[in-house]
Amino acid sequence: MMTDLEKEVIHSADAARRVARQTLAEATAGKPHKGQRAFGWKDAEHVEEREAELLQIARSDILKGKKVETVHEEWTRLKVRSPQTPPGKTIGYSSVRYVLRNPRLCGYRSYVPQEVRERSGRVDPVEWLIERTDGTPVVGQWETIYTPDEWRELIDVLDARKSTGRGRKVGSTVTKRLMTGIARCAKCGTGLSSGMYTRGTTSYERYGCRKADGGCGSLSRSGPPVADYVEKILLGNLKKQAQSAKSTEEEDPELTKAKKTVKQIEADKAEARQLRADDELSLAEFAREIRRLEDKEREIKEKVSSLSAAPVRAGSAAARIVREWKNYTVDMKREEMQKSIESIMVKPAGKGGAQRGAFRPELIEIVWK
Ligand SMILES: [Zn+2]
């Protein structure tokens, strides 16, 4: 026997599939969804006053800390039904979550490719917003219930609860994306969260620093160019290891030399300090000497860290990874990345922004383990 919730989920998955049949071109033009009306609207364009009011009250209550479960209980008492609710029933919990997250509420248009819907059943539309080529969301031609800021604020609160395990679902079915947990905001250090966006006929990951995760909120970057860059460097390191299989046992002679130089500089600094203490060096001479040694030290330490960057692994294993990389799944790539990469620091682009321009590798810094 199926539960009511399961029936409802299946029922609305059918509805979702119907909706997905419309063309992406229509979606990109901001045309309203066809087919069944959405909760909050009486048709494709016009707001249903009572439902819109319920959504507005729910939003402000949730921002004050009310749980979605409590909103669901209240709506159940009010005998609220969604267009997908089976006859004789009231709205289900997952539908309440769904209608509150609907980008349509603020006029944003989402488009989930049919094959994704078929694979995953109910998909979070927040992750499938359509963007214009300038990176701004496509805005639909219908009456709205929230402003974009109000909607985003609600989504951030709901997502923050999900990630701290406070709501009902912890999102266990969500597959990890390539760089989540690895990519961080270089400005505030917060781990970047990611979402899927659709532009034209392609969907891509976008990573951002979010205030809801305790971050500064000043960073948003398209994922694929960053991933390509990081993969290229990682594979380059692995190739190097594969070519010098003996590197598993022996330290790079250049690294040994650099480490020795660091020691020498430390000794020189100690000597300069001693000379100063004995008054053999004037304060000006001492200052100059220390600065010269510190400049040299900084330079050589950078060299040491770049030479010891690639963690040493058996040459044959490295060669195999390089060979098979193109067949690796996202999970496998993540696993391999995490073996040698501590984090990928993504720097904000500063004034003007890099989102529209070409990829700028200087905004990415890989911190090796
Ligand atoms: Zn940040």
Q: Structure pTM?
A: 0.44
What's the CA-to-centroid distance between 233 and ligand 1, angstroms? 24
Residue 146, C-beta contacts closer than 8 angstroms, at least 6 positions apart: 55, 56, 59, 105, 106, 154
What is the predicted pLDDT for the residue at 202? 74
Q: Number of folded domains in the chain?
A: 2
End-to-end Cα separation, the chain, in angstroms: 51
Asked if 69 and 138 sit in the same domain, the reply is yes
Asked if 41 and 157 sit in the same domain, the reply is yes
What's the CA-to-centroid distance between 42 and ligand 1, angstroms? 40
- Cα–Cα distances (Å) from 24 to 42, 81, 114, 117, in that order, read 23, 29, 10, 14
What's the CA-to-centroid distance between 200 and ligand 1, angstroms? 29
What's the CA-to-centroid distance between 213 and ligand 1, angstroms? 9
What's the CA-to-centroid distance between 208 and ligand 1, angstroms? 8
Tell me which of 131, 151, 169 is where a domain ends. Answer: 169
Asked if 158 and 237 sit in the same domain, the reply is no
Q: Which two tokens stand for residue 109?
A: 């248009």
Residue 303: CB atoms within 10 A of its CB come to 17
Asked if 266 and 146 sit in the same domain, the reply is no
Per the structure, the complete domain to which residue 17 belongs is given by: 4-169
What is the predicted pLDDT for the residue at 113? 72
Of 77, 220, 79, 61, give the one whose Cα is nearest residue 137: 220
Is the distance from CB of 314 to CB of 194 less than 8 angstroms? Answer: no
What is the predicted pLDDT for the residue at 169? 38
What's the CA-to-centroid distance between 184 and ligand 1, angstroms? 8
- The reply to whether 176 falls in a domain is no
What's the CA-to-centroid distance between 350 and ligand 1, angstroms? 13
Taking only the tens of pLDDT, the chain with its 369 residues reads 556 655 655 555 555 555 555 556 677 777 766 677 899 999 888 999 999 999 999 998 888 888 898 899 999 999 999 988 889 999 999 899 989 999 999 998 887 777 777 766 667 778 778 777 666 778 888 999 999 889 988 988 888 776 554 433 333 334 468 898 899 999 999 899 888 877 777 777 889 898 888 889 888 888 888 999 999 999 998 888 887 765 455 677 888 888 899 999 999 999 888 888 888 888 888 888 899 999 999 899 888 887 776 555 556 778 888 888 888 777 788 888 988 899 999 998 866 554 455 788 889 999 998
What's the CA-to-centroid distance between 212 and ligand 1, angstroms? 11
Asked if 101 and 230 sit in the same domain, the reply is no
Asked if 231 and 164 sit in the same domain, the reply is no
Asked if 268 and 155 sit in the same domain, the reply is no
Distance CA 10, CA 118 (A): 11
Asked if 135 and 281 sit in the same domain, the reply is no
Asked if 160 and 26 sit in the same domain, the reply is yes
What's the CA-to-centroid distance between 102 and ligand 1, angstroms? 26
What's the CA-to-centroid distance between 187 and ligand 1, angstroms? 5
What's the CA-to-centroid distance between 333 and ligand 1, angstroms? 25
- The reply to whether 195 falls in a domain is no
Residue 310 per-residue DSSP state:
S
What's the CA-to-centroid distance between 135 and ligand 1, angstroms? 19
- The reply to whether 190 falls in a domain is no
Q: Which two tokens stand for residue 184?
A: 């961080």
Asked if 70 and 164 sit in the same domain, the reply is yes
What is the predicted pLDDT for the residue at 282? 87
Q: Which two tokens stand for residue 253?
A: 């002679």
What's the CA-to-centroid distance between 55 and ligand 1, angstroms? 31
What is the predicted pLDDT for the residue at 346? 93
What's the CA-to-centroid distance between 191 and ligand 1, angstroms? 8
Distance CA 250, CA 209 (A): 41
What's the CA-to-centroid distance between 147 and ligand 1, angstroms? 24
Three-state secondary structure call for residue 56: helix
Of 233, 204, 255, 265, give the one whose Cα is nearest residue 344: 233
Asked if 147 and 241 sit in the same domain, the reply is no
What is the predicted pLDDT for the residue at 128? 79
What's the CA-to-centroid distance between 153 and ligand 1, angstroms? 17
- The reply to whether 187 falls in a domain is no
Tell me which of 169, 185, 208 is where a domain ends. Answer: 169
What's the CA-to-centroid distance between 209 and ligand 1, angstroms? 5
Distance CA 114, CA 20 (A): 5
What's the CA-to-centroid distance between 248 and ligand 1, angstroms? 37
Of 99, 89, 113, give the one whose Cα is nearest residue 7: 89
What's the CA-to-centroid distance between 52 and ligand 1, angstroms? 34
- The reply to whether 215 falls in a domain is no
What is the predicted pLDDT for the residue at 121? 66
CATH code of residue 115: 3.90.1750.20
Residue 111, C-beta contacts closer than 8 angstroms, at least 6 positions apart: 24, 27, 28, 128, 130, 198
Three-state secondary structure call for residue 231: helix
- The reply to whether 218 falls in a domain is no
What's the CA-to-centroid distance between 126 and ligand 1, angstroms? 21
Residue 252: CB atoms within 10 A of its CB come to 15
Tell me which of 123, 153, 169 is where a domain ends. Answer: 169
Asked if 258 and 346 sit in the same domain, the reply is yes
- The reply to whether 107 falls in a domain is yes
Angle at 220 between CA 218 and CA 224, to 5 degrees: 155
What phi and psi values does residue 198 have, to the nearest 5 degrees? -115, 130
- The reply to whether 254 falls in a domain is yes
What's the CA-to-centroid distance between 358 and ligand 1, angstroms? 21
Distance CA 176, CA 191 (A): 13
Q: Tell me the longest C-alpha to C-alpha distance in the chain.
A: 96
